[in-house]
Structure 1
Amino acid sequence: MTSTGRADANRRRIEQVALAELLRDPDASMDQIARAAGVVRRTVYGHFPSRDALIAALVDQAVASVTDAHAAGRAAAKDPAEAVARAALAVWEIADRYRLLVSLAQRSVTMEGIRDRLAPVRAACTELLRHGQEEGVFRSPVAPAALAYVHEQVLFGLMEAVNAGALTPEEAGPTAALTILISAGVTPDEAEHIVTTARSGT
């Protein structure tokens, strides 16, 4: 393996271990992360100049996963409502894995920074909502761009609800899809049917 390959492998291992350590102990230090990764502290700092930089890199990784999940959910759907439901369910699987990281990241990355990183997902969501409104599938009078922000906040709110014990992770995915569809102007009965169908994979 080349030195570049070793460096890349070390970085990936540090990121994987750091995520696990920070989810276990949000106050984990760079020293703790280095020990858990089996490297010296200098190696960690060679890749990440500060703890905040490491957390920001993990947030970038999480956002990339969310972006891929959102695209995959949309691609598997036959119409805008199903696309919204499948995208919400797919995104929640990723969001649930990273929800404690989001709370931690707010100390360093800030919510504004997280929202900036999610701009491509929000843009895709806006276009999907616009398409659905044009087809009469979504009957909300709220502008698509504003609705996209509402849907984003639904997911953040549900993360906090799960963190607080008000909702189980298993309940949160379907709840997110239902809430997002209803806010877009789909009736509760229609939303329930769409989410049930999306969850069954049919």
Structure 2
Amino acid sequence: MTAMTTGSSSRADANRRRILDVALAELLRDPDASMDQIARAAGVVRRTVYGHFPSREALISTLVDGAVQALAEADAGARAGVADPAEAVARSVLAIWEIADRYRLLVALAQRTVTVQGIRERLAPLRENKVRLLQHGLDEGVFSSPLPASALAYVHEQMLFAVTEAVNDGLVTAEEAGRAATVTVLTAAGVPASTATELVAKVSEGS
């Protein structure tokens, strides 16, 4: 590969990253932002944006992929080295919420352009980790549920989606939502509400 080719590739990568960063900011500010608006905000011509992303839907899909990757990294980092299943769930949900809150308007937007099945497929690796964690908690007697771990993981996932929508609708503040969602997820897994509340407060203060 020649130096000229390498330089062109680097510029293209830099343009792509800039377009994604600007697109996220613009779409969070205005969910109906057009490709023209995004191009102007990024300081490039419309053709450059379409050169990287053939459609607005493709651009949003790429942003969703980035959000899912950030969620997975937050989940893994939060659970690392934590032996207690309840604490691991608490740390995971709190960490995931920080990312989800940042992207919550994007998630609402993505539901218009990315199919629900498509979002579920993207979240599958994250869900599989949650299933293993929940099963461990059920086996240890830390959690209790009439649902199997695989179904309980779906319940937890949908709870977080519901809380993001509640924040978007102004029913709860983003600041309150993180802890409240974590307590709710733990109680859904059979942890007593008082125990869950104390654990979430302890984890939050120590983070």
Task: Tell me how far apart the structure 1 counterparts of residues 131 and 172 of structure 2 sit (CA, whole Å).
Answer: 27
| Segments of 4+ moved more than 4 angstroms | none
Q: How does 1:49-198 map to 2 (within 5 A)?
A: 49-198=54-203
Matched with 1:33 is 38
Q: Secondary structure at the match of 1:96?
A: helix
Q: Specify whether residues 159 and 76 from structure 1 end up closer, same or farther in structure 2 by C-alpha distance, changes over 3 A only.
A: farther
When normalised by structure 1's length, the TM-score is 0.97
Q: CA deviation at 1:77?
A: 2.4
Task: Tell me how far apart the structure 1 counterparts of residues 36 and 122 of structure 2 sit (CA, whole Å).
Answer: 28
Amino acid at match of 2:168: N
Q: CA deviation at 1:141?
A: 2.3
Amino acid at match of 1:100: L
Q: Secondary structure at the match of 1:166?
A: coil
Amino acid at match of 1:167: V
For structure 2, the 5+ residue unaligned runs are 1-5
Q: Secondary structure at the match of 1:107?
A: helix
When normalised by structure 2's length, the TM-score is 0.95
Task: Tell me how far apart the structure 2 counterparts of residues 157 and 76 of structure 1 sit (CA, whole Å).
Answer: 29
Aligned residue pair count: 202
Amino acid at match of 1:116: E
Deviation digits for residues 4-40 of structure 1, max 9, x if unmatched? 1111111000000000101111111101100000001
Q: CA deviation at 1:76?
A: 4.9
For structure 1, the 5+ residue unaligned runs are none
Task: Tell me how far apart the structure 2 counterparts of residues 78 and 93 of structure 1 sit (CA, whole Å).
Answer: 22
Amino acid at match of 2:41: A
Q: CA deviation at 1:168?
A: 0.3
Worse overlay, 189-198 or 10-19 = 189-198
Matched with 2:3 is none
Identical-residue share of aligned pairs (%): 65
Q: CA deviation at 1:78?
A: 3.3
Matched with 2:27 is 22
Q: Specify whether residues 80 and 162 from structure 1 end up closer, same or farther in structure 2 by C-alpha distance, changes over 3 A only.
A: same
Matched with 1:3 is 8
